[in-house]
Amino acid sequence: MDRLNASRTLSDKVKAPGYTPAEHGTGIVHLGLGAFLRAHLAAYTDAALAASGGDWRIVGVSLRSTAPVEELEPQDGLYTLIERGPAGTNARVIGALSGALSGANQRAEILEAMADPATRIVSLTVTEKGYGIDRATGGADPSFPAVAEDLANPIAPGGVLGLIVRALELRRAAGIAPFTVLCCDNLPENGAFLQAGVVDFAKRRDPDLADWIAQSVAFPSTMVDRITPARTDRTLADATALTGFADAAAIETEPFTQWVIEDRFPSGRPDWDVAGAIFVEDVAPYEHMKLRMLNGTHSMLAYAGFLSGHRYVRDTMADPAMRRLIKRHLAAAAATLTPLPGIDFSTYAEELCARFTNLEIAHETYQIAMDGTQKLPQRILRPALDAHAEGQSLRPFAFATAAWMRYCLGRKDDGTTYALRDPMEGEISSRLEGLTDDVGIVEALCELPGLFPDALLAIPGWKAAVTEILAGFLQNGDVAAIRSEAET
């Protein structure tokens, strides 16, 4: 079967790019060449290129793996984006990617692309754990391997902070205006978060460069949203059926998409607004809404759902006990938010339930359960602190936390074992070694460095509630514990 590429005539079952990709130059280097870039930022850029043109195509960078490059290079960066929803399936071929590079063997080319005057934005989706920023101090984390390596060898960096700082240094030396840095990961105040990490990394190398970055580089915050499950064989088979060609880079997603961005792009940006992006002064309230309601509920349902045998998010919505807990969590998370003009949080919650119910999307609870230590603080623990400050019930947050702790044991009630897939996996397992009692498990996990805010641990009743719920899981089994929680 021939591969999809720029010389192919596509079948009429799929929408082709509304422009000639090769006529548009590169303006963006994106770090993190995964599914989310393809379903979100590249799709917005594709629509902006079709509507208003411009040299805004994207060079995608996979920091470690070469697989995305092998998928995309033979296809001239083209890939099929399949949207699946209750109203049917839509597919389009995206032309926004102008190239693909891998940090495994192309570090010099990556720096060259980032230092190129044509590059005006460096955007990122490297997941919460990919930055090497210490959440407690806000600075670069020298215990993170890529940070240590790049501090030792700053000329040929391979990590996020090292690459951004070196590329900015090269631009400054050559008298080229800096690029805008656009963090698109699910972290609160993600622009300020990345700025602090970058400036601190630069300070460890050259305080003067750090000052220049602090003063001249824009780091707008963004809220990104589109549920994008891992690709399956069905994705690839459907892409072939739709385009008429083999497509190793296809991706599937839901119809819903949202992007809220702070409009601080001193060197310009694509017309993402024509594709529906919303530009605002302050993204923080939107980020909190999405992180706490969508992602917080996702994490809760991932742990509880996985343990009770639900493979996909949609299955948890079909389980009456889980559905009640999902609704309870959405309401509790909403209650921690400051009002957002024009947004009704209960309508947003209903829309989220509809999205979670999407029968066409096979989003694995095990996928969402990954990297819990990186997700819990902003999704569950901070909201719990705010709920407490407002005199609201801590129970939904304690339940989510206890479900995560139960999940950390790495074994289902039926005896099957699974990998935690968390950067703190080794530390979690060694702390839990030999522990079987609820109190011991809660203590061991609460002491994980940098995870639980001291203020939360100091709240009378917090640990007791988590311990009581965990005891229910351990004594009665996961399904019974979840059912009984749904009745409280």
CB-based contact 78:96 (threshold 8 Å): no
Does 30 bind ligand CS2 (CB under 6 A)? Our answer is: no
In 95-179 the beta strands, taken as DSSP E runs, fall at 97-102, 121-124
Closest contact distance (angstroms) between CB of 35 and ligand CS2 is 9
Phi, psi of 422 (to 5 degrees): -145, 140
Question: Is the CB of 294 or the CB of 408 nearer to ligand CS2?
Answer: 294
Q: Using DSSP bridges, classify how beta strands 180-183 and 57-62 pair: parallel, antiparallel or unpaired.
A: unpaired
Give dist(CA 443, CA 57) in Å, integer: 50
Structure tokens at 260: 């809220």
Shortest Cβ 134–ligand CS2 spacing (Å)? 21
Token pair for 410 = 């790495």
Binding segment (CB under 6 A) for ligand CS2, from list 106-114, 222-230, 407-415, 463-471? 222-230
Question: Do residues 21 and 6 make contact, with C-beta atoms less than 8 angstroms apart?
Answer: yes
Mutual angle of helices 478-487 and 462-476, in 10-degree steps: 130
Kindly tell me which of 229 and 270 has the beta carbon lying closer to ligand CS2: 229
Q: Does 295 bind ligand CS2 (CB under 6 A)?
A: yes
Q: Which of 203, 226, 288, 395 binds ligand CS2 (CB under 6 A)?
A: 226
By the rule CB under 6 A, 37 interacts with ligand CS2 = no
How many residues of this chain interact with ligand CS2, rule: CB under 6 A?
Answer: 10
Q: Which of residues 371-430 bind ligand CS2 (CB under 6 A)?
A: 375
CA nearest 259: which of 280, 229, 288, 238? 280
| DSSP per residue, 84-110 | EETTEEEEEEE--EEEEEETTT-HHHH
* Closer residue to ligand CS2 in complex, CB, 31/474: 31
CB of 454 to ligand CS2, least distance (A): 25
Cα distances from 354 to residues 91, 348, 361, 366, 456, in angstroms, run 21, 10, 12, 20, 32
Report phi then psi at 15, rounded to 5.
-85, 130
Residue 352 φ then ψ, to 5°: -65, -40
Cβ 226 to ligand CS2 shortest distance, Å: 5
Q: Is 298 in the site for ligand CS2 (CB under 6 A)?
A: yes
Nearest of 138, 197, 117, 125 to residue 164 by alpha carbon: 197
CB of 296 to ligand CS2, least distance (A): 9
- The binding track of 160-199 with respect to ligand CS2, each residue x by CB under 6 A or -, is --------------------------x-------------
Tokens of 10: 């596509």
**DSSP letter (8 states) at residue 338:** P
Using CB atoms, what's the residue nearest to ligand CS2?
298
Residue 54-73 contact track with ligand CS2, rule CB under 6 A, x = bound: --------------------
Minimum Å gap between C-beta 23 and ligand CS2 is 32
- Runs of H (alpha helix) within 206-344: 207-216, 233-243, 284-289, 296-307, 313-317, 320-334
Burial of 478 (0-12, 13-18, 19+ CB in 10 A): buried
Cα three-residue angle 388-389-390, rounded to 5 degrees? 90
Instruction: Tell me the β-bridge partners of 25.
Output: none
Answer for which of 227, 384, 408, 442 binds ligand CS2 (CB under 6 A) is 227
Q: How far is the CB of 149 from ligand CS2 (least distance, A)?
A: 27
Are 220 and 205 in contact, with CB atoms under 8 Å apart?
A: no
Amino acid at 477: G
Closest approach, Cβ 115 to ligand CS2, in A, equals 31
| Other C-beta atoms lying within 10 Å of the C-beta of residue 171 | 19
Between 367 and 476, whose beta carbon lies closer to ligand CS2?
A: 367
To ligand CS2, the closest distance from the beta carbon of 404 in angstroms equals 12
Q: Report the C-alpha gap between 209 and 80 in whole angstroms.
A: 41
Q: How far is the CB of 416 from ligand CS2 (least distance, A)?
A: 22
- Given candidates 151, 183, 333, 368, which one binds ligand CS2 under the rule CB under 6 A? 368
Quick one: which segment of 93-101, 141-149, 203-211, 293-301 binds ligand CS2 (CB under 6 A)?
293-301
Q: Confirm or reject binding of residue 225 to ligand CS2 (CB under 6 A).
A: yes
Smallest separation, CB 8 to ligand CS2 (Å): 31
| CA–CA dist 259, 183 (Å, integer) | 12
Of 41 and 227, which CB lies nearer to ligand CS2 in the complex structure?
A: 227
Residue 311 beta carbon to ligand CS2: minimum distance, rounded to whole angstroms: 15
Stretch that binds ligand CS2, among 215-223, 225-233, 331-339, 423-431 (CB under 6 A): 225-233
Q: Which stretch binds ligand CS2 (CB under 6 A): 41-49, 290-298, 314-322, 466-474?
A: 290-298
Which one of 163-171, 193-201, 291-299, 480-488 is the stretch in contact with ligand CS2 (CB under 6 A)?
291-299
- In the complex, the residues that contact ligand CS2 under the rule CB under 6 A are 186, 225-227, 294-295, 298, 367-368, 375
